[in-house]
Amino acid sequence: MLNFDAGHYYGATGLHPNGIIEKLHSRIVSIHLKDKTGPKDDPANTNMPWGKGKTPISDILLLLKKNKWPINTDIELEYPVPEGSDAVAEVKKCVEYCRNILS
């Protein structure tokens, strides 16, 4: 089984993660989600606050929803927590970002 890190995949390759997800969905048990820039961006392959990077998070979530695949997703908080915030507040922002996509 595969724990697919969609953010690192996109950040390192610049390829859309849905190709791998479609191909291997029956073997994927979970997907790490994070927002990153791609390898040709400036800065390259960098963790960003959600909505500021280029990882196609919405495409990933909508693909899973459309196909009703039983794949867990998890938020991987890897961007620097801004001053005045904390990890819990930042994860809440990421959850809300996902909810807005899926609603």
Q: What is the pLDDT of residues 39-88, one digit of tens each?
A: 999 999 999 999 999 999 999 999 999 999 999 999 999 999 999 999 99
Provide the pLDDT for residue 76.
Answer: 96
User: Rounded distance, CA 12 to CA 96, Å?
Assistant: 26
Provide the pLDDT for residue 9.
Answer: 98
The per-residue b/e assignment along 54-73, b for 16 or more CB within 10 angstroms, e otherwise, is ebbbeebbebbeeeeeebeb
Which single residue is written with the structure tokens 């196909």?
Answer: 67
Provide the pLDDT for residue 61.
Answer: 98
Strands 47-48 and 35-36: antiparallel
| Residue 80 to residues 25, 50, 56, 84, 90, Cα–Cα distance (Å) | 31, 11, 20, 12, 10
CATH for 2-102, among 3.20.20.150, 1.20.1250.20, 3.90.550.10, 3.40.50.720? 3.20.20.150
pTM of the model: 0.95
Contact status, residue 8 vs residue 37, Cβ threshold 8 Å: no
